[in-house]
Amino acid sequence: MKCILSIAGSDSGGGAGIQADIKTITSLGAHALTVITALTAQNSIGVLAIHPVPPGFIARQIKAVVEDMPPDAVKVGMVFNAAAVKAVTRMIALYRLSPVVVDPVLRASTGRLLLEPDAVRVLRERLLPLATVVTPNLHEAELLTGKRVRTLKEMERAALEIFRMGPRVVIKGGHLKRECSDLLFDGKEVTVFPGKKIASTCTHGTGCVFSSALATFLALGENLKEATQSAHDVVRRAIRGGYCVGRGTGAVAPYSTGRIEGLE
């Protein structure tokens, strides 16, 4: 069985973070390994508090897992501060882990910062050069490039700029106004994965599901274009199967196997 290592924060509401990664990886037939970078006091309405895990303990978690159960792929999500980014980067380099999918979790959907401002530069300069692929949404692409990203054409320009930081790039278009298309730049060509808008308020965890699914499909032997299409499909199924929990945004269901109606 393939082992996928998720290095990310814990969502006490169960909709995103490590919890979403475990559900996604397991549903795709792989074994989930986990390294917790931060604990959040979180529910469907928002993030109330964040307790970062000391960087030395993050490194010890990675060491413990990797030396016994070498992962076939790695997903990096919320790392919260510069010290954590440095610890994760050091361990990825030390153990030469690959492929590495970086989901640059910069801000919660409710607005709470999930990566401290001074850590963004460290992520760009140290972590992204070690990544196989990075998967920002529109807002995250704007923060990484310092430029507006609201259309497919702007997504393409941003992907080319982020590629110069080191990794191949998938920009997730879930926040586009008229569509939900994702865009891949693999260093040679741009590929768009089109999708119609899905009317749903159950979207919490989509970014985590996409990145952990992408890592899993890469571990299962798909090339980057195939894995991106597969992850795109998984997220659309997860939104279709989403459910209300709590008083805020509902959760997606990455284990949903229903066929996506109208999928291109």
CB atoms within 10 A of CB 143: 17
- Asked if 207 is an active-site residue, the reply is yes
Q: What is the rounded distance in angstroms from the CA atom of residue 136 to the CA atom of residue 105?
A: 8
Active site residue 14: no
CA torsion through residues 164, 82, 115, 254, sign? positive
208 is catalytic: yes
**Could you say which of 205, 241, 242, 250 is catalytic?**
205
Residues, the chain: 264
- The one catalytic residue among 37, 40, 208, 216: 208
Can 9 be counted among the known catalytic residues? no
Catalytic-labelled residue, pool 24, 40, 89, 203: 203
Q: How many CA atoms lie within 13 A of 145 on its CB side?
A: 24
For the question of residue 174 being annotated catalytic, the response is no
Active-site annotation holder among 24, 132, 206, 228 = 206
Is position 172 annotated as part of the catalytic site? yes
Question: Which of the residues 207, 241, 242, 250 is marked catalytic?
Answer: 207
Q: Which of 172, 180, 202, 250 is catalytic?
A: 172
* Catalytic (active-site) positions: 172, 203, 205-208
